[in-house]
Amino acid sequence: MQKKLIALAVAGLVSGGAFAQTNVTISGLVRMSVEQYKLSNVGAGFDASSENRVSDQSSMLVFSGREDLGGGMYAGFTIDNRFSPDLGAFGASGNTNIHLGGNWGRVAIGRQDLHYGTAIESYKAYTLQNILSNGIFAQVNGTSIANATRTPNVVMYDSPNMSGFSARLAMSTNWSAAVTNEGTGLRAAGAADPGKGSATNLALNYANGPIKAGYSYWRATVEGGKTAAAGDQRGDTLQFGYTFPMGLGIGLGWNKSKLDFTTGEVSRTAWVLPISYTFGANQVALSYAKAGNTSGVADSGANAYTLSFGHSLSKRTNVGVAYTKLDNKSGGSYDLFGLAANGATATPAGADVSQVSFNVNHSF
């Protein structure tokens, strides 16, 4: 209640007293880690050393609002601001949208996490690099599927929850996170049409009691047409998880992804196995992921595992330690997730990666 009152007061000051929103809340997460990142087997002509870092792990400040429109309808918004406590700076927005909803579901327009990272993994305290379904599982030999981050320019429909079943259909008019403009329709005679790129995501999920299961489909075509360096994408993910009454959770995720370039297609299959055991305020978790060889690229597979321990100091505050190890074959270029965000050295082909981290998470 206090957060709602504060938000209303702030909004009233900003709007000069013209504020009419019925319900606005402030929430978020501060997630930080102290870590040691190390590359090995970097090949002839290179040296590698450990990097000790303090890094943000996608901390967020979220403003959300909702207004009842009558007849079961409502309107709302979410403004998700990502910031870096280690640098004292705000960055790009997170899952941000405006939406209309009712008993029939919800339609939203904005920016949203889609497809990548849909396999079941759960840690009480972790860094982004520990999440294998966002890393090795969401790459084709180093090329990220579905941006490995939020998709911009999205229109999406979320169905109501029906006894645990839910669905999402999302479309993006310009899906690449690296492209900020939509194009004007004007181009040189004979040039590729920059407005033809798009993406579609269909997600079907079930969550009821101890069972979680789902399927996610991703299809994306490159703005301006595919090239030898930028390919159209296709991804399919299946997942299943079960939590036993004694606190043991077991999951399984499978993914097949394909990149289609003007020079031909490449594809690979990957899977992830997350296991966790929760006892009291503690959790021990182990995840293992494996990517097969990319078609046409010899010895291009990789495997990785994360071992972590987390402890809940309260309902909102968790601390933990984690160790992640990723081994590439000689032609593999897989990387841990989120390295660009915290400044780590990118993984060269054939190199191996390890990270030890101490993590603190606080939600509000």
pLDDT tens for residues 54-64?
Answer: 988 889 999 99
With cut-offs at 50, 70 and 90, classify the pLDDT of residue 40: confident
Identify the three-state secondary structure at position 29. strand
Exposed/middle/buried for 42, CB within 10 Å: 0-12, 13-18, 19+? middle
| Confidence band for 129, pLDDT divided at 50, 70 and 90 | confident
221 band by pLDDT with thresholds 50, 70 and 90: very high
User: Is 249 within 8 Å of 268 (Cβ atoms)?
Assistant: no
Map out the domains of the chain as residue ranges.
2-179+194-363
Query: Average of pLDDT values for 130-150?
Result: 89
Asked if 342 contacts 55 with a C-beta cutoff of 8 angstroms, the reply is yes
**Beta strand 232-243 pairing with 248-261:** antiparallel
CA angle 178, 157, 116 (to 5 degrees): 40
| pTM confidence score | 0.88
Average pLDDT over residues 34-50: 83
Question: Which pLDDT belongs to residue 164?
Answer: 96
Segment 105-124, tens digit of pLDDT: 999 999 999 998 888 887 77
pLDDT of 125 above 70: yes
Whole-number Å distance between alpha carbons of 325 and 322? 10
**Given this model, what pLDDT does residue 345 score?**
66
* pLDDT exceeds 90 at position 12: no
pLDDT at residue 344, rounded to an integer: 64
- Model pLDDT for residues 338-361, shown as the tens digit of each residue: 776 656 666 788 889 999 999 999
Average pLDDT over residues 25-50: 87
Phi-psi region of 124 (alpha: psi -120 to 50; beta: other; left: phi over 0): alpha
8 has a pLDDT exceeding 50:
no
pLDDT classification of 45: cutoffs 50, 70, 90: confident
Give the per-residue pLDDT at 17: 42
Q: Alpha-carbon distance 29 to 216, whole Å?
A: 26
pLDDT at 257 over 80: yes
Calculate mean pLDDT across residues 23-30: 93
In terms of CATH architecture, what is 2-179+194-363? Beta Barrel (2.40)
Separation between Cα atoms, residue 57 and residue 34, nearest integer Å? 10
Q: How many CB atoms lie within 10 A of CB 157?
A: 16
Q: How many whole angstroms separate alpha carbon 306 and alpha carbon 351?
A: 18
Least confident of 128-137, 288-297, 342-351, 355-364: 342-351
